[in-house]
Amino acid sequence: MADKKAQLVIEGAAPVELPILTGTVGPDVIDVRGLGATGHFTFDPGFMATASCESKITYIDGDKGILLHRGYPIEQLAEQSDYLETCYLLLNGELPNAEQKAQFVSTVKNHTMVHEQLKSFFNGFRRDAHPMAVMCGVVGALSAFYHDSLDINNPQHREISAVRLVAKMPTLAAMVYKYSMGQPMMYPRNDLSYAENFLHADHEQNASTSTVRLAGSSGANPFACIAAGIAALWGPAHGGANEAVLTMLDEIGDVSNIDTFIAKAKDKNDPFKLMGFGHRVYKNRDPRATVMKQTCDEVLRELGIKNDPQLELAMRLEEIALTDPYFIERSLYPNVDFYSGIILKAIGIPTSMFTVIFALARTVGWISHWKEMLSSPYKIGRPRQLYTGEQKRDITALKDRK
């Protein structure tokens, strides 16, 4: 895996030889682990050029718009697979045969119930709390209910926790919604299928998955790690973008205001950004967005939605942004959240629940990465820093301070 070497020349010191690691596809990476011994660290805020781990789960080529889960293109999975099959694939590395699939679906269905006492946790939240705030709390609280399988060094415990999380997230999402409405909570109906939501199932080392891995690297239990992932997902630069798209459309208000808001998005002194546009990795197209756009068109057609002003506004905004040189030059295309926000609105999901739906779909990706990390040797995640604060100095007595 490390035939090539890179040489780093630091002025006044002997050259440092660094192994170059080659994956199965994708760019080579320079292994800088030995660099610390020379008294230097690398500086890469935001991980713009740093691979934080080795993984076999998901591959993305952002320039070519490629997304593979365990080698399978997302387009093929979207057309020929279903959500639980994709979950099995992410968790186990291979698609299930018919028997394995039936067994997996049955196991997941057997775990959809949550402990009855978990309901009392909801009562501690105000009814108008944001559903993501409640999700952070109740998913973390699951650790207090499933002690029987919290030994992270036991592969069987990891397996049970993974299934529990995949199975219980839709139940919790429904409970969060019902609580916010002040209505009685629903018990899961196992005669219904798991909703198809796989375009969000996994996405490599994004902010929330990296958060789950970082929390997991300290030995924290899986429920606590997923709660950390939910917190990271909530931000509008990440999974909160689907909700932020709708908030933005409300703010723009009317097609006649689009030019003003496009100008705001381009203005470096204005914090406004076009939500649902841009991606750290995809600089050509987001392959999920292509599938989502098709689904979006189908959903709007199927529902006969023609004259919804907010959807019209979204479509017009997409059209303008796709032809504006500012967005073209910076490769800012609509991302998956632009279309998922529109679809969720069209099918009647309340805006504040959008990111919760994302979280329940992404749980399988988070837990697959957590399991992968724990199944081979790993170290606690602990980045270093470039310190630019004061050098050592002595305290001045309070009476002498100005």
Binding-site ranges for ligand ACO (CB under 6 A): 237-239, 241, 265, 273-280, 330, 332, 335-337
Nearer to ligand ACO, 353 or 374 (CB): 353
- Name the minimum Å distance from CB 11 to ligand ACO: 30
Is 69 among the residues known to form the active site?
Answer: no
- Helical axes 222-234 vs 207-216, angle rounded to 10°: 150
Q: Say which of 69, 200, 286, 337 is annotated catalytic.
A: 337
Nearer to ligand ACO, 318 or 337 (CB): 337
Nearer to ligand ACO, 121 or 354 (CB): 354
Contact 204, 59 (CB under 8 A): yes
Among left, alpha and beta (phi > 0; psi -120 to 50; other), residue 381 is beta
- Name the minimum Å distance from CB 363 to ligand ACO: 14
| 247 vs 235: CA distance, rounded Å | 14
CA within 13 Å, CB half, 288 = 23
Give the distance, in angstroms, between the CA of residue 321 and the centroid of all CA atoms in the same chain.
25
Nearer to ligand ACO, 165 or 274 (CB): 274
Is 203 among the residues known to form the active site?
Answer: no
Nearer to ligand ACO, 64 or 119 (CB): 64
- Name the minimum Å distance from CB 84 to ligand ACO: 22
Identify the residue whose tokens are 């546009």.
277
Reported for 345-349, long-range contacts at CB under 8 A and 24+ positions apart, including other chains, are: 345/246, 345/310, 345/311, 346/296, 346/299, 346/300, 346/303, 346/305, 346/308, 346/311, 347/299, 347/303
Is 157 among the residues known to form the active site?
Answer: no
Radius of gyration of the chain (CA): 23
Q: Say which of 40, 111, 157, 238 is annotated catalytic.
A: 238
Residues known to be catalytic: 238, 279, 337
